[in-house]
Structure 1
Amino acid sequence: MAQFIIIIDTSIMNVAITALARDLNTDIQSIQLAIALYSLVMASLLVTGGKIGDIIGMKKTFIIGTIIFGLGTSIAALSVNVLMLMIGWSVIEGIAAALMLPGVFALVLIIYEGRERAISFGVIGAMAAVGAALGPIIGGFLTTYYTWRWAFAMELIVVVAILASSHRLMESEIDKRTRLDNVGVCLSSVGLAGIVFGIVNGIIYLIGFGLIILIIFALWLKRQELKKKMPLIRLALFKNRQFVSGFLTDGLESLALAGVLFCMPVFLQKGLGYTAFETGVALLPLSIAVFVISFATAPLGHKIAPKYLVQVGIIFMAIGAFLIRDVISMHVTNMELLPGLAIFGIGLGLMLAQLSNITLSPVKEEERGEATGVAETTKALGTSLGTAIVGAVLIASLFSGLAIGVQQSTVLDDSLKVEITRGLVDNTKHMEEEAIDNELLKLPKESIDELEVILDNAFIRATEFAFDAIIVCCIFCFIVSFFMRKRKL
């Protein structure tokens, strides 16, 4: 259930982008930042969450995280502006998820072995798939017919159910030698934040700053080990080829999925005028495919080398992304989108059922807490970067397409083109239904019709560019997967 609400959290919000921008009086870039920030906070603190679990016990850490999650979702439900949403959802829920997730995987490693462990990891992947499947529909239904605030209220009910059943969990062994590396926590958090914020806002020097801080973080880890002190992450972990290739593949898969779940709702709602519920229905083929395939293929890793299942999944994801890109137009129907979305979902389901087991099974018992943290950090960072990178490609391409379209138009009045461009971009940022507020400009009908054509063409090209980025991500993911070992689990 914990995996379920953490995954459903993001998928619900993706289909509510238009409503969030309208209700909180903000723009699409602020909502993009809120979505990216949620995953970033989680990514920054997951290793820390794993360490805290080693120090005080995974069960206790998990319960504390669940309580904090309940607090965050309550604040998010009551948000009156985007800042309050970021505090409740992006920050507090992100911290909570960082405490909960390491416990989910570590407790499976403690309780199960062999085939049962493989099936258990498959079930966790399937629960992620359930969240991904139900999120767009639940979020879309609540947003369209009630309010997105009820989605957060629903999560609070799940939190209560988790706490009520938490007595059944076994406590992990507490390592009294483990200490929290506070300097390492600060360096890793600042470095990751610099990179993601730099990408979202298009600030190159901020990305460079983040990379420099992460290099300093790596040197700090080496220093801690040379001084025989406990680092935040043991560098020996990164000598395990199966572990490294597993978490990198998982991170790239998350990047591709986050890109799809950000750009498709923007295109469907702003481009085609879909409601949040209609967006959820349009994405249903992807959701159902992920749900069915992840459940059906969970035990296969015991019979077929999981590496091959993952690679087939990556190929399906790339084909699905290409098919979606190929049919993008302002007249595309749900039936035309169905094959690409379903194939992408099949590929994702194959990967979700296997990757956690591939990544964490080869890790030594004493390294499981931080290994889980590293793996989930990479996955969350992939989600954050997917929203940031693919979102940045979509938004930058869209706004540049609007500006170029206006400047090249022979229908629009040259003396008004600067104001028209500003108005067009501003309305698109705020996900307004009309192409432009015409009260001040008083444009003739042929000019308004021309703006609609410019907006349509810009949306098509921007969405195509976004899917180009997703396909490139799948290619990188496929290359990394070759470093996995072929053994069955």
Structure 2
Amino acid sequence: MTTSASTGAAAATARSGAGLVLAVLAASQFLMTLDSSVMNVSMPTVAADLGTTITGIQTAITMYTLVMATLMITGGKLGTIMGRRRAMGIGLVIYAAGSFTTGIAQNLTQLLIGWSLLEGIGAALIMPAIVALVASNFPADKRSAAYGLVAAAGAAAVAVGPLIGGAVTTYASWRYVFFGEVVIVLLILAVLRKLNDVAPQPSRIDLFGSLLSVVGLGLFVFGVLRSSEWGWVIAKPGAPAPLNVSLTIWCMAGGLLVVYGFLRWESRLEAAAKDDPTALQPLLRPSMLANRQLTGGLGMFFSQFMIQAGAFFAVPLFLSVVLGLTAMQTGVRLVPLSIALLVTAIGVPKVWPKANPRRVVRLGLLLMIIGIGFLVAGMDPDADASVMTIPMILMGLGLGALASQLGAVTVSAVSESETAEVGGLQNTATNLGASMGTALIGSVLIATLSSAALTGVASSPEINDALKSQISTELVGGVPFVSDEQVATALSAAGVSQSEIDAITEINAQARLEALQVAFALVGFIAIGALFFSTKLPTVAPGSTVAAAGPDPTGPPKRD
């Protein structure tokens, strides 16, 4: 971004009020993340209200993620063409229409149209625009704090979603969450014109490239999201298995091939546009991916959301299933994480505005690793819920450290005219990371639980051979993650003796704990792996004098 552009952004923000601008962008990011976390704790109630099944609601969640992830790159380009503020406004209107439709939905079809489709399309326009509008409203030296607050708002929505969802579902109706979103959108739209924006760059949209990106990303993400039902490589019993290989692999491989074709097509358009400015502009310039700082930032975003999604998948299971907490109590135990995240995301740029981004990110990863270590060590079926406090604070501090740096790192790697496209790439990376994190941790959790439980049943002298055989046959596809009470109730209804019920319940409790420990250990290993990919991050804060006149970001980064 040029100095004059930075000055213009600062002046515009001063006129409109930095607080108002941040409130609008943070509230928008909060909305984009709130839905899924509320829906996850409200699934049984929503399913009963709409006359559908838990599987039906899970399908809606899957489709919402799928629509969002596949349209992010296209949404970013549309922001460049029509203007980021206008794209965000259109996205908000579509999102509000989807929220209202969801709020009045009477069946699964209406939920799919309102939530999965309309809200997904709206989010694909809004989220890249948020990234670009931070850049156009704040000078480079203020962006780390702004991006930190916006990212913290999204992460806080994940953490407090169960609390909000549990409270609203218990004392009113899940529908009020979506009606509330409509009200918030209307408030945002009322002040949206206060946000500064750069001039749009009208051009034709690359429809073929958009189709390729949607198909490629769609196939890949769909395969990942279905991995828990199909299996990753070896198909689960009853799952589709072309050539004796799980359909998950076929979808992921097919998606990657289409994405490769998409990049080749975009490279061709980019080369043609250099010679002829009137030629069709690419949806994405592949040459941007040669920028080490950009790819380093995107890689860390992918890692962060993989870690974050995996942790937020497993932590509620420990609190609700193992410790028996309600949705509201589970949400309360996640509040320390939200507070720590918010404090760090805002505080680091304010206290250390010229902090070395690479060091801050590495420190954040180390804090998360330590927090996960404390969590695994403190796991026990008889533990008090307070055992979560220190791990949640450490993980919140770690996530906040990453949030305080990564947004500014990715955007500062390109010119202001490319910030919307980078916003699309950034949100594609976060969606892919979250999908992979949830699917991978979920698969490992169930696989470990199944192995430990079935092995325990097979070796138990208290269980008769006929019951062992029946359990092995019925649970060959995987052991469900359920509470001791649910296990005892199901076995009692099946006429199993009390001694065998006690033995199986104890085996399930131990297997469940082992599965959670392995799942969290994997989250920790992902964080350790991310440390090795942090070398592409810059060592100088974006917006500093040195950074402005620093080396070519495509060159090798300075060793830290």
Q: TM-score, normalised by structure 1?
A: 0.90
Q: Is the aligned partner of 1:375 residue 2:426?
A: yes
Equivalences, count = 487
Partner of residue 52 from structure 1, selected from 78, 83, 104: 78
Deviation of 1:388 (Å): 1.7
Equivalent residue runs for 1:343-422 within 5 Å: 343-420=394-471, 422=474
The answer to which of 380-389 and 122-131 deviates more is 122-131
Alpha-carbon separation, structure 2, partners of 1:263 and 1:126: 20
* CA shift digits 1:340-365 (9 cap, x unpaired): 11101110011112210111012112
**Equivalent residue letter for 1:207:** M
> Are the counterparts in 2 of residues 26 and 82 from structure 1 also a CA contact under 8 Å?
no
* CA shift digits 1:91-113 (9 cap, x unpaired): 33222111001211212222322
Q: Which runs of 5+ in 1 are unaligned?
A: none
Partner of residue 445 from structure 1, selected from 498, 516, 532: 498
The residue that corresponds to 1:150 in the other structure is 176
Alpha-carbon separation, structure 2, partners of 1:469 and 1:117: 33
Q: Which runs of 5+ in 2 are unaligned?
A: 1-26, 232-247, 274-279, 543-560
Alpha-carbon separation, structure 2, partners of 1:400 and 1:126: 37
The residue that corresponds to 1:192 in the other structure is 217
The residue that corresponds to 2:262 in the other structure is 217
The residue that corresponds to 1:469 in the other structure is 522
Alpha-carbon separation, structure 1, partners of 2:172 and 2:456: 37
SS in 1 for 2:500: helix
The residue that corresponds to 2:339 in the other structure is 288
Alpha-carbon separation, structure 2, partners of 1:18 and 1:344: 29
> Are the counterparts in 1 of residues 144 and 408 from structure 2 also a CA contact under 8 Å?
yes
Deviation of 1:132 (Å): 4.0
The residue that corresponds to 1:183 in the other structure is 208
The answer to which of 264-273 and 444-453 deviates more is 264-273
Alpha-carbon separation, structure 2, partners of 1:284 and 1:37: 28
The residue that corresponds to 1:76 in the other structure is 102
The residue that corresponds to 2:295 in the other structure is 244
* Greater RCO, CA 8 A, separation 6+: 1
Sequence identity (%)? 34
Deviation of 1:392 (Å): 2.0
**Equivalent residue letter for 2:261:** I
Deviation of 1:146 (Å): 3.6
> Are the counterparts in 2 of residues 427 and 437 from structure 1 also a CA contact under 8 Å?
no
> Are the counterparts in 2 of residues 66 and 96 from structure 1 also a CA contact under 8 Å?
yes
> Are the counterparts in 2 of residues 37 and 90 from structure 1 also a CA contact under 8 Å?
yes
**Equivalent residue letter for 1:284:** V
**Equivalent residue letter for 2:127:** L
* CA shift digits 1:189-228 (9 cap, x unpaired): 2222322332332222222222222222222222323443
Partner of residue 480 from structure 2, selected from 428, 440, 446: 428
Please identify the structure whose Cα radius of gyration is greater.
Answer: 2
> Are the counterparts in 1 of residues 137 and 197 from structure 2 also a CA contact under 8 Å?
no
Alpha-carbon separation, structure 2, partners of 1:276 and 1:6: 21
Residues 343, 429 of structure 1: alpha-carbon distance in 2 compared, 3 angstrom cutoff: closer
Residues 82, 288 of structure 1: alpha-carbon distance in 2 compared, 3 angstrom cutoff: farther
* CA shift digits 1:269-323 (9 cap, x unpaired): 2333221111111222212211222222232452212221111111111111222
Calculate the aligned-residue CA RMSD, in Å: 2.8
Residues 186, 240 of structure 1: alpha-carbon distance in 2 compared, 3 angstrom cutoff: same
Alpha-carbon separation, structure 1, partners of 2:152 and 2:127: 15
The residue that corresponds to 1:118 in the other structure is 144
> Are the counterparts in 1 of residues 484 and 508 from structure 2 also a CA contact under 8 Å?
no
**Equivalent residue letter for 2:506:** V
**Equivalent residue letter for 2:266:** L
Equivalent residue runs for 1:245-324 within 5 Å: 245-300=296-351, 302-324=353-375
Q: Is the aligned partner of 1:484 residue 2:529?
A: no
The residue that corresponds to 2:508 in the other structure is 455
Alpha-carbon separation, structure 2, partners of 1:22 and 1:424: 28
The answer to which of 300-309 and 468-477 deviates more is 300-309
**Equivalent residue letter for 1:188:** S
